[in-house]
Amino acid sequence: MDRTNKVKSIAVLTGGGDAPGLNAVIRAVVRTGLGYGLKVWGVKNGFGGMVENQIIEMTGESVAGILPRGGTMLGTTNRDNPFRYLTVQNGEKVYSDMSGQALENLRQHDIDALIVIGGDGSLKIGAEFYQLGLPVVAVPKTIDNDIPGTERTFGFDTAVGVATDALDRLHTTAESHHRVMVLEVMGRYAGWIALHAGIAGGADCILIPEIPFSIDSVIDKIKERQQRGRLFSLIVMAEGAYPQGGEMSVGRIVEGSHEKIRLGGAGEKLTREIESLIGVESRCTVLGHVQRGGTPTAFDRVLSTRYGVAAVECLLAGAFGNMVALQKNEIIRVPIADIAGITHNVSLDDELLMAGRAIGISFGD
């Protein structure tokens, strides 16, 4: 496709795991595109929909009432990669490069450019299509907040709110039964959700992947509280947290997915270890996909809307190959090639992490 052509028709897709605010981005893309006189298409079910030609025309009515809804009206998947697409030939699973078919389907609908709403896996695929000549603009989506180049991904604020609410509820039951309560939260290989929710929810110990923990340090924190008459403790644990000298807990392996390794089980392992070492009754709560679902917060709705508008305007400006991002409360553009495949982790001198240390939170080190 010739990038010098004036953009008259655009498509939008959502890839990877769902996140609160996806519908708000779609709504903003459609309304902004129509406002500029563009024809707007929606690709259903992520990049798989590009290959399978699941492309529908979007109108104002298409996005009516979806602003407060969680999930994505277009559907999504984290398993389909057009450059390594799973097909069945003669009864056997075969991975083939179907990127050409995906591009041809866009051409059949006279689509000039694509907006990809997704996390690191989707951004990498978007970057590959851009290298093939497709005008692409990306919107950073993940509850994990682990995409570099932006201070916030939409969905993160909602996920932190869910985790904080869970901590508030666990606090009362932990205090009543004199228990150690471990809350395992999502985040993959980054500890942003655990850090923010732990601070907001008054956790006594926050365990994140960036700081391998010592079980002795965790036990010391529990005992120190007991000595002060605090017979319960709250621990927030990122799913990717792991002990010094140990490894992350893998829940399962999903073949054919952008993310074959699915983390899980770290919280339950920790509770069993605490009980065996000091005999304190301990319980683990795994929030899992509860963090992904439901109504997005006002912050995520506003950020999603800003991203959607900026993505369309980025295409109209001919600034292809960029991701819209938030920096110092301004929407900027970051080259996708600079951030695709890179994880944004919590730095050891992060201001919030240092604030947690200052108020006595243990990070297990």
Q: What does the alpha-carbon distance between residue 237 and residue 271 come to, in Å, rounded to a whole number? A: 11
Separation between Cα atoms, residue 232 and residue 125, nearest integer Å = 47
Distance CA 127, CA 116 (A): 10
Cβ neighbours of residue 329 closer than 8 Å, sequence gap 6 or more: none
d(CA 350, CA 357): 11
C-alpha atoms less than 13 angstroms from C-alpha of 20 in its C-beta half-sphere: 25
144 catalytic per annotation: yes
- Name the active-site residue from 18, 112, 120, 144: 144
CA dist list (Å): 281 to 149, 236, 251? 43, 16, 24
Q: Using CA atoms, how far apart are residues 19 and 292, in angstroms rounded to an integer?
A: 5
Q: Strand locations in the chain, DSSP E?
A: 9-14, 39-43, 55-58, 85-89, 92-96, 113-118, 136-140, 180-185, 205-207, 233-238, 250-253, 261-263, 282-286, 322-327, 330-335
Using CB atoms within 10 Å of the CB of residue 268, give its burial: 0 to 12 exposed, 13 to 18 middle, 19+ buried.
middle
Strand partners, 238: 185
β pairing state of 322-327 and 330-335:
antiparallel
- 283 within 8 A of 181, measured Cβ to Cβ: yes
- Report, as residue numbers or ranges, the catalytic residues: 144
